[in-house]
Amino acid sequence: MGLSSRRYEHESDYSRVGEFLVRTYRTRGSHVNWLQPRWEYMHHHAQIRRVDLHSIGIWEADAEIVGVVHPEHRQGTVYFELDPTHADLRREMLQYAEENLARASDAPDGGRTLRIFVNDSDAELQRAARQSGYQKDGAYEDMSRFDITGPVPEPAVPPGFRIASLADDDDFSKMQRLLWRGFNHEGEPPPDARSEREFMQSAPNFRKDLNVVIAAPDGGFASYCGMWYEPGQRIAYVEPVATDPAFRRQGLGKAAVLEAIRRCGRKGATVAYVGTAMPFYLSFGFRPMHHLSAWQRSW
């Protein structure tokens, strides 16, 4: 078996990595890869411009991708995607990350620093990190799932509000205002973020009809659930969710998420995932699955 490693070439590798993530999709084991929709969301988010895509590492066996090590939206923070039949690549991938994906340290005397996210069930990668001088720094990521076992009932919203989707009303200014306020930024959003929304919507699997908005009585957007559907494994992926502070605690965020899940279920999805274990999601049917801890080393 010919095993080789090289740098990522976006034009030829973007879709191949997505196919690799679909092929290696699983929910149990010592290491669990990203879902394909997160890879797609990463590459169509405005912050991808902060990333040197050519720094991503690719491992192949007989011309088939078996490993990827990469940042998300900033250099110096790294994730590992691994074919379970090539588990022995962990240490080589970690070494590659140190040599190619670290960032300049904030320490006065300079140097380099690297943060890696490791599934708490991945004893081998934890062992490699510890032996290389990494320590947990307190940051973490979670993954939770919602099993779609039958038709999801249409959620209710308060009088005057309306459930819609971006297929009904794709108003960039209303969406930008909602996201700006929903993520707790002060004041009003920058005057024109149209290019960023167009960039996100250019993603190959972006579906306006699955991206749900709750319209307020005045016609503005009160809440939003971004939703991605990957038909190969019949999975839905929630990203992002936001509610305008003026409309919180009315069940609008829950309604947006459940309606997006309902729509994916009608397309064939059997499970929905979200990258958190916040009580908000657990309160209406999500359950925690994986916990990833951040390990960091400076040198």
Q: What is the pLDDT of residues 163-184, one digit of tens each?
A: 999 999 999 999 999 999 999 9
CA dihedral of 147, 153, 157, 163, whole degrees rounded to 10 = 90
277 within some domain: no
Report the percent of the chain where pLDDT is more than 90.
92
Q: Which amino acid is at 226?
A: G
CB atoms within 10 A of CB 47: 11
**29 & 100 share domain:** yes
288 within some domain: no
CB atoms within 10 A of CB 51: 19
The DSSP result for 182-228, as a single string, is: HTT-SSPPPS--HHHHHHHHTSTT--GGGSEEEE-TTSSEEEEEEEE
Query: What percent of the residues of the chain are helix, what percent strand, and what percent coil, each to the nearest 5?
Result: 35, 30, 35
Residue 193 has pLDDT above 80, yes or no: no
Q: CA-CA distance, 173 to 181, in Å (whole number)?
A: 12
Global pTM exceeds 0.85: yes
284 within some domain: no
DSSP single-letter state for residue 171: -
How many domains is the chain partitioned into structurally? 2
**182 & 258 share domain:** yes
**121 & 31 share domain:** yes
Q: Give me the CATH number covering residue 85.
A: 3.40.630.30
**79 & 163 share domain:** no
Non-local (6+) Cβ contacts of 69 within 8 A are 56, 57, 78, 79, 80, 81, 93, 94, 96, 97, 101
Note the pLDDT tens digit of each residue in 14-35: 999 999 999 999 998 889 999 9
What pLDDT, on the 0 to 100 scale, is given for residue 262? 98
**85 & 164 share domain:** no
125 within some domain: yes
**107 & 178 share domain:** no
What pLDDT, on the 0 to 100 scale, is given for residue 1? 58
**137 & 161 share domain:** no
CA 55 from chain centre, in angstroms, equals: 19
**160 & 255 share domain:** yes
Contact call for residues 200 and 211 (beta carbons, < 8 A): no
278 within some domain: no
Buried b (16+ CB within 10 A) or exposed e, 123-155: eebbebbeebebeeeeeeeebbbbebeeebeeb
**14 & 134 share domain:** yes
**12 & 138 share domain:** yes
285 within some domain: no
Q: CA-CA distance, 91 to 84, in Å (whole number)?
A: 14
Note the pLDDT tens digit of each residue in 93-122: 999 999 999 999 877 777 999 999 999 999
Alpha-carbon separation of residue 107 from 58, 104, 112, 214, 298 (angstroms): 30, 9, 9, 46, 9
Note the pLDDT tens digit of each residue in 210-232: 999 999 999 999 999 999 999 99
What pLDDT, on the 0 to 100 scale, is given for residue 42? 97
**25 & 123 share domain:** yes
Domain containing 244 equals: 149-269
286 within some domain: no
What pLDDT, on the 0 to 100 scale, is given for residue 168? 98
**138 & 153 share domain:** no
279 within some domain: no
